[in-house]
Amino acid sequence: MTALVRMRLTAYLRSGRALPGLLGTLVVVSIIYGGGKSDAAEAYGFSAVALFPVIAWQAKLLLDTEPDVQRRLAVSAVGLRREVTAGLLAAGVVGLVTVALAMVLPWLVGGITGPGGIGAGLWAHAAALVGAVGLGALASRPITRSTLYGVAVLVTGSVLAIVLGLDNSVAPWLAPPLMATARHLAGHPDSATIPALTIQAALWAGVVGAIYARLRRTRG
Amino acid sequence: MRLDGVSYRYGRRGPWVLREVDVEIPAGGTVVVLGRNGAGKSTLLQLAAGVLRPSSGAIKERPTPVGWVPERFPADQPFTVVGYLTAMARLHGAVDQNAIEAWVDRLGLASYRGTRLGELSKGTAQKVGLAQALIPKPGLLVLDEPWEGLDAAARELVPGIVAEVVAAGGTVLVSDHRGETGRLPGAVTWTVADGTVAQGEPRQEREIAIIEIAVPADDAEETAAALRADGHDVVAVRTKAEV
């Protein structure tokens, strides 16, 4: 499975598809930290929300890199379960690099104050990452089969993740806990606890991952 | 290897491509799959290779590793020939550099070692598709129209390659609509039609003849359509310049 993860990451880098995602990350980081110094925890909370669609888009780009027949060749070599898992892992690695960039760059340019908040920031980004990889996978070509539907799933999912997470949302449990995490890191009163948010993020990613695996089994 | 009550359709509402197929492939045997275009030959082969999962039924005792040669090799990938073959060998669990070099030489790919896949001609790319399936020493080799797209020299190699895989205890499944499989001695034929697979007849009893006819280029489409309407399998339509 490591071999397939490596092959997909190589193709993603060599095909130039990594570049748009990297630019997207830099744009988001510039916007968040362009206005001066921020408290680390609060800034990382917003960064995790803003990076959610970027990481989801990168996951879709990575999973779309491989031609359909090559994906089938991979299935014949390693089996469907490992092929699906390797795709999600490769997308996770790309997401991790994005998170690392988004967390380190602000320090380099002096956009963040205080040493505190790094652990909370890591947690917020990890919660966003697992959900974003799930959404990107659902928007990928093996599931949506067309660019139009793929973009529609990606955009709708990203918007809903934010809208459903707003304060007083009617169904906050339907979305990954991006906004709730940002509120928690900003010290918002009455925000959910870290264990509750962690469980929600893990459950959301688990359910979306299961739906993706199920659709991959049934869609050939 | 057995297909037990295997049915398949693309999507939940799609028409059934195969229905309740029960066939057995003898270990170390060669099976030639015949059928009209769109009859389900590729689907059957992909089910056998484990690329597609049956909508119902099961495939049992599939030999490993599986080498699958798709009808069209996906050349739109940012790898060189050797880089790709090495990566594919790694997927199968082991990189045998000697095996990679041996197949590169044998299939005439030596001068394309460092060439990117996207820059290869269709025929050369097809050879890469063949090589990636053979390098892991397949227990099951599935060839989807192997004579399509290969140049004459490579086409001549296919029967020998099939014989070697069988001699090593492997099982081979080949689809063919060009009538080239006459060169696979001892092969049994399956015919895919109307969602079913008929099996058992020795290939010699179902000899296929290819008739080449020449018509004015303007009449080609109409003639091909008329032949199809009469129930014939039109293998190819080409202009004299392409001969």
* Pair A123, A184: CB distance under 8 Å: no
| pLDDT (0 to 100) of residue B237 | 85
The stretches of chain B forming alpha helices (DSSP H) are 41-49, 81-91, 97-106, 122-134, 152-167, 220-229
Identity of the residue numbered B116? R
Residues B96 and B155 in one domain: yes
Contact A14 B91 (CB under 8 A): no
Q: Are B1 and B24 in contact (CB under 8 A)?
A: yes
Amino acid (1-letter code) at residue A65: T
Which range marks the domain in which residue A199 is found? 2-218
- Ramachandran assignment for A114, one of left (phi > 0), alpha (psi -120 to 50 degrees), beta (any other): left
Contact A76 B73 (CB under 8 A): no
Query: How many separate domains does chain A show?
Result: 1
Residue with tokens 């960039």: A101
**CA B61, chain centre distance (Å):** 21
Give A15's contacts in chain B (Cβ within 8 Å).
78
Claim to verify: residue B107 and residue B226 sit in the same structural domain: no
Per-residue pLDDT tens digits for B137-154: 999 999 999 888 888 888
pLDDT of residue B202: 40
Pairing of strands B171-175, B140-144: parallel
Q: Choosing among A9, A73, A81, which should be mutated to test the B contact, i.e. which has the most B CBs within 10 A?
A: A73
Contact A77 B91 (CB under 8 A): yes
Tell whether A74 lies on the interface with B, counting CB pairs under 8 A: yes
Does pLDDT of B190 surpass 50?
yes
pLDDT reading at B92 higher than 90: yes
> Is residue B48 a contact partner of residue B144, using CB atoms and an 8 Å limit?
no
Q: Is the pLDDT of residue B78 over 70?
A: yes
* Same domain, yes or no: B137 and B238: no
* C-alpha span between B201 and B8 (Å, rounded): 24
Q: A130 CB contacts (<8 Å, ≥6 apart)? A: A92, A176, A201, A202, A204, A205
Are B200 and B103 in a shared domain? yes
CB contact (8 A) between residue B74 and residue A219:
no
CB atoms < 10 A from the CB of A165, how many? Answer: 22
Please tell me whether residues B150 and B217 are part of one structural domain.
Answer: no
Kindly write down the DSSP assignment for every residue of A169-211, as one continuous string.
-S-GGGS-SHHHHHHHHTT-TTPPPHHHHHHHHHHHHHHHHHH
Q: Tokens in use for B144?
A: 């989807």
Residues of A in contact with B66 (CB under 8 A): 76-77
> How many domains is chain B partitioned into structurally?
2
Say yes or no: B190 and B218 in one domain: no
Residues B145 and B109 in one domain: yes
Query: Are B125 and B219 members of one domain?
Result: no
Same domain, yes or no, for B116 and B236?
no
State the burial class of residue B211 (Cβ atoms within 10 Å of its Cβ: 0-12, 13-18, 19+).
exposed
Sequence-separated (6 or more) residues with CB below 8 Å from residue A204? A130, A131, A134, A175, A176, A177
Verify whether the Cβ–Cβ distance A72 to B66 is below 8 Å.
no
Residues B93 and A30: their CA atoms lie apart, in Å, by 43
Please tell me whether the interface predicted TM-score (ipTM) of this complex is above 0.90: yes
A220–B52: do the CB atoms touch at under 8 Å?
yes
- Whether B110 and B45 map to the same domain: the answer is yes
**Per-residue pLDDT tens digits of chain A, which is 220 residues long:** 899 999 999 999 999 999 999 999 999 999 999 888 889 999 999 999 999 999 999 999 999 999 999 999 999 999 999 999 999 999 999 999 999 999 999 999 888 887 788 999 999 999 999 999 999 999 999 999 999 999 999 999 999 999 999 988 889 989 999 999 999 998 887 778 899 999 999 999 999 999 999 999 987 6
Are the C-beta atoms of residues B45 and A38 closer than 8 Å to each other? no
Q: Residue B57 above 70 pLDDT?
A: yes
A157 Cβ neighbours under 8 A, 6+ residues apart? A56, A135, A138, A139
B78 touches chain A (CB under 8 A): yes
Q: Determine contact: B132 vs chain A, CB below 8 A.
A: yes
Q: Does B77 have pLDDT greater than 80?
A: yes
Which domain CATH number covers B62? 3.40.50.300
pLDDT for the residue numbered A220: 67
Task: Report how many Cβ contacts below 8 Å link chain A to chain B.
Answer: 65
In the numeric block, the tokens 């499975």 are attached to A1
Could you tell me which chain A residue has the CA closest to the CA of B49? A76
Its domain, for residue B36, covers 2-209
As a dihedral over the C-alpha atoms of residue B159, residue B90, residue B101, residue B78, rounded to 10 degrees, the angle is 100
- Higher-scoring residue by pLDDT: B210, B4: B4
* Average pLDDT over every residue of B90-107: 95
Residue to test with chain A: of B59, B91, B122, most A Cβ within 10 A = B91
Angle at B164 between CA B69 and CA B113, to 5 degrees: 55
Place of tokens 């895919």: B192
Residue B219 and residue B120 in one domain? no
Q: Torsions phi, psi of A12, nearest 5?
A: -65, -45
Same domain, B203 and B150: yes
